A and B are shown apart, each in its own frame.
Chain A
Amino acid sequence: MKAKIACIVIYLVILFSLSNFQAIASQLEARQIITRSFDLYRLAPYETEEIGVTVVEDNGRTQEKKIVRWLKYSNGGDKLTVKFVEPEIDKGLGLLIWHHHNSDDEQWLKLPSLHKVMRLQFSNQTKFFGGTDFTFEDISQLAGEKVENFVYSFIRKDDTGWVIKATPKSPATKTRYDYRMFWVNSNFVISRIEYYSYGQVEKTQRNSEITIDKNGLWRSNRIEVDNKLLDRKTVMTVVKRDFPTKLSERIFTTGFLTSERR
């Protein structure tokens, strides 16, 4: 009898361990896929982009914007500088973000009417950026997901790719969303992201006109965000993109925001 009980206990322990192992393996795998996707996204150390932004309001009003942005990807933390080129009223508006992987981001803003740059913090980063449907959190995460802050699980996987759910690891994780769903194809390209808040989809991002180089570095030349919460749509179209081997560190300083250069 004792032997039987011992067998059952051992069996249960093994079963529990296996199921737990499977869960961990699955977790690691989902996280690894997201990590792999962003590793490939961040293969180039530097990037410059000219982006046309069209915002379509629910009343049909359309706004055209044009921004130039410079990115520096590094394991220590990314840096992003954005300058508005159009519309004319926004000329001189600039933003510098230092995206730290293990601490809060740092942000500086240059307003067109001022001759100085101000350090700011957009509280929990849920504020929309420059009149688009992207929040500061989105802009920051799209350059490189802070994977240590989220738990990733598979919703679906097949030959074409994976659908992965990213849930905040703890209440301390600073995010606007309850969770996000990533559609990742077999080339590790994120083709779609759904952002959920209050139990329903807040917005859907579709990445199209995808380019992949021989090393797997991928980009989308057209990003469309359908914002159901605000009944609005933002389309970002890349007009020009370069991956220079080197960009001056000057571009990622507050001094650059006060320069006319772009």
Chain B
Amino acid sequence: MRNWLRLYIFLVSLFISQSIWAVEIEHGGKVSVFNSLYFTNKEQGEDVFSEIRFQPYLTLFFSDSVLAHLETDLRLDTAGYTQGYFDDVTSETERRVADIKEGYAEYAKERLRLRVGKQIFDWSVADTVSPSDNLNPRDWTDVIKWERIGIPAVSARYGYDSYCEIVWAPFFNSSIIPKEGWRWQKELARGIIQAEQDLPDRHQGQIAARFGMVWHQTDLSLSYYRGYNFSPTVEFQPTLTREILAVPIYRKLQAYSAGIAKSASGFTFRGEIGYINQRNGDDFTQYVIGVDRIWDAIFQPADSLYLLVQYTDEVETENITSHEIDLLNFRRALSKAVMLKSEYSFNNQETWKLKLEGFYNFRDKDSYFEPAVAYRYDNWETELGLGIASGSNSSFMGGYDQNDRIFLIITRSF
């Protein structure tokens, strides 16, 4: 048995053994199956993709103030995107077959909440695009169904409605981007080859702070981040042959951002603005404004419709990287873009839902739309949808237009 598997089993066993000290135990999780059928045959990647995923969690409550939470993530797929097991606190450049999604101890007393361990942070106020949401790297194995990757960190939150939160993550954690041969690998121009990610020293940490408050029925937040960009940019390196290597590298950056959310007359208005200052990279101000609302009793007494519309754009203050060659920068994929998210529930049990989400990018004239139908019964949830991308090859989504697909997700919670 390999060492990392031993370590993984040891850590999970250690956690479970602690349950004898726990006053209360809560456990559960979900099993899901994700299937995709791509309409276009592509040399790289499979036309049919299936993944099975098992995500059990265990929470131990030791007292009113102390708890420990562990969520593991076991996944296998037909394309071989998963490699290895949890053997290190930092993330890899590939998904692991067995990983710890989150695992932390929490101490909370009155105004103070301390957490130590692998955590996921979402400081966004807006949807999908957020200059405030910098801490966690992303898993873009499937660019559309991206996920945050947990990072080992120490976080402290102090306060009630007005609060301050500080996070220190001692290690660099890389995002996962599609590699050569993967279905969602970006098609680059002829003669350019995507290289392995060039990762900074793992002991490069990051720090972030946020101040939030509720003021006059408005949520306000200010945040600061210093660390690496979660999204790599491409650096070109010549080779001895005529080919050019496109090397994804991570730039150091500082981000200053502010967020606001306000409800009025049945609508909720959201906005975020952030200044991103990158070392040896573009500096830009990114902003998102949006509005959402829930309507109910539209056609039937218990139906409802949720609708979110957002606009996002950026203003470059220093341009170093050409936009045309920066197409692996997922963070900046949406500029001058309108996003839509809608969900219609036929009844208040939300058994059947119709969903439509997507965006149109005015800058590059590319788009992605995903209509879906979801059915929920007891602890089962099924979603059947279509993913349709369009745009020129030089645009962000246009580069994925061979990945139009139909997908089916079946999830059972336990």
Q: Give the CA-CA distance A255 to B221 in the complex, in Å.
A: 13
Give the shortest distance, in Å, between A136 (CB) and chain B (any CB).
Answer: 10
Q: Give the CA-CA distance A11 to B110 in the complex, in Å.
A: 66
Give the contacting residue for B266; candidates A116, A124, A230, A260; CB below 8 A. Answer: A124
Q: Give the CA-CA distance A88 to B267 in the complex, in Å.
A: 30
Please name the residue on chain A nearest to B102 by beta carbon: A115
Mostly, the B contact residues are: strand
Per-residue contact bits, chain B 51-72, to A (CB 8 Å; 1 contact, 0 not): 0000000010100000101000
Contact (A121, B268) CB under 8 Å given A248-B110, A260-B67: yes
Per-residue contact bits, chain B 263-294, to A (CB 8 Å; 1 contact, 0 not): 11011101000000000000000000000111
- A260 touching B122, Cβ below 8 Å: no
- A119 touching B268, Cβ below 8 Å: yes
Please name the residue on chain A nearest to B300 by beta carbon: A230
- B69 touching A123, Cβ below 8 Å: no
Most A C-beta atoms less than 10 A away, residue of B157, B163, B301: B301
> Quick check: is A2 within 8 A (CB to CB) of the other chain?
no
> Quick check: is A16 within 8 A (CB to CB) of the other chain?
no
Contact (A261, B61) CB under 8 Å given A87-B378, A253-B163, A255-B113: yes
Give the shortest distance, in Å, between A9 (CB) and chain B (any CB).
Answer: 49
Give the shortest distance, in Å, between A238 (CB) and chain B (any CB).
Answer: 20
Most B C-beta atoms less than 10 A away, residue of A118, A121, A252: A121
- A259 touching B106, Cβ below 8 Å: yes
- A115 touching B122, Cβ below 8 Å: yes
Q: Give the CA-CA distance A91 to B29 in the complex, in Å.
A: 9
> Quick check: is B350 within 8 A (CB to CB) of the other chain?
yes
- A121 touching B266, Cβ below 8 Å: yes
Q: Give the CA-CA distance A122 to B297 in the complex, in Å.
A: 12
- A115 touching B301, Cβ below 8 Å: no
Contact (A116, B376) CB under 8 Å given A121-B266, A123-B266, A128-B348: no
A158 contact set on B, CB distance < 8 A: none
**A window 218-262: CB within 8 A of B:** 229-230, 248-250, 252-253, 255, 259-261
- B108 touching A114, Cβ below 8 Å: no
- A120 touching B111, Cβ below 8 Å: no
Most B C-beta atoms less than 10 A away, residue of A55, A57, A115: A115
**B window 318-372: CB within 8 A of A:** 347-350
**B window 233-257: CB within 8 A of A:** none
- B348 touching A131, Cβ below 8 Å: yes
- B263 touching A104, Cβ below 8 Å: yes
- A230 touching B161, Cβ below 8 Å: no
- A91 touching B302, Cβ below 8 Å: no
A121 contact set on B, CB distance < 8 A: 263-264, 266-268, 293-294
- A127 touching B121, Cβ below 8 Å: no
- Interface range for A: 35 or more
- A116 touching B113, Cβ below 8 Å: no
Most B C-beta atoms less than 10 A away, residue of A91, A118, A119, A229: A119
Contact (A261, B414) CB under 8 Å given A88-B28, A89-B379, A255-B163: no
A118 contact set on B, CB distance < 8 A: 261, 268
> Quick check: is B26 within 8 A (CB to CB) of the other chain?
yes
Q: Give the CA-CA distance A229 to B348 in the complex, in Å.
A: 13
A89 contact set on B, CB distance < 8 A: 376, 378-381, 413
Q: Give the CA-CA distance A128 to B30 in the complex, in Å.
A: 26
- B293 touching A123, Cβ below 8 Å: yes
A104 contact set on B, CB distance < 8 A: 217, 263
Please name the residue on chain B nearest to A122 by beta carbon: B294
> Quick check: is A126 within 8 A (CB to CB) of the other chain?
yes
- A250 touching B108, Cβ below 8 Å: yes
Q: Give the CA-CA distance A123 to B297 in the complex, in Å.
A: 11
Contact (A120, B106) CB under 8 Å given A229-B301, A253-B161: no
**A window 77-131: CB within 8 A of B:** 87-89, 91, 103-104, 106-107, 114-116, 118-124, 126-128, 131
Contact (A127, B157) CB under 8 Å given A88-B413, A253-B163, A261-B61: no
B270 contact set on A, CB distance < 8 A: 119
A248 contact set on B, CB distance < 8 A: 110
**A window 20-78: CB within 8 A of B:** 55, 57, 63
Give the shortest distance, in Å, between A249 (CB) and chain B (any CB).
Answer: 5
Give the shortest distance, in Å, between B146 (CB) and chain A (any CB).
Answer: 13
Give the contacting residue for B295; candidates A57, A103, A120, A123; CB below 8 A. Answer: A123
- A253 touching B304, Cβ below 8 Å: no
Q: Give the CA-CA distance A118 to B264 in the complex, in Å.
A: 15
Q: Give the CA-CA distance A103 to B161 in the complex, in Å.
A: 18
B106 contact set on A, CB distance < 8 A: 259-261
Q: Give the CA-CA distance A104 to B301 in the complex, in Å.
A: 23
- A120 touching B120, Cβ below 8 Å: no
Give the contacting residue for A127; candidates B67, B161, B294, B380; CB below 8 A. Answer: B294
- B381 touching A122, Cβ below 8 Å: no
A122 contact set on B, CB distance < 8 A: 294, 296
Most A C-beta atoms less than 10 A away, residue of B59, B217, B292: B217
Q: Give the CA-CA distance A118 to B411 in the complex, in Å.
A: 24
- 11 extra interchain contacts, Cβ-Cβ under 8 A, other than A89-B413, A230-B347? A88-B30, A104-B217, A115-B122, A116-B122, A116-B123, A123-B296, A127-B304, A250-B108, A253-B160, A253-B161, A255-B157
Q: List 9 A-B contacts (CB under 8 A).
A: A88-B414, A103-B217, A115-B121, A116-B122, A118-B268, A119-B219, A119-B263, A122-B296, A123-B296
Give the 8 A-B residue pairs with the shortest CB-CB distance, closest first.
A128-B348, A121-B263, A123-B266, A88-B413, A115-B122, A116-B122, A127-B296, A89-B413
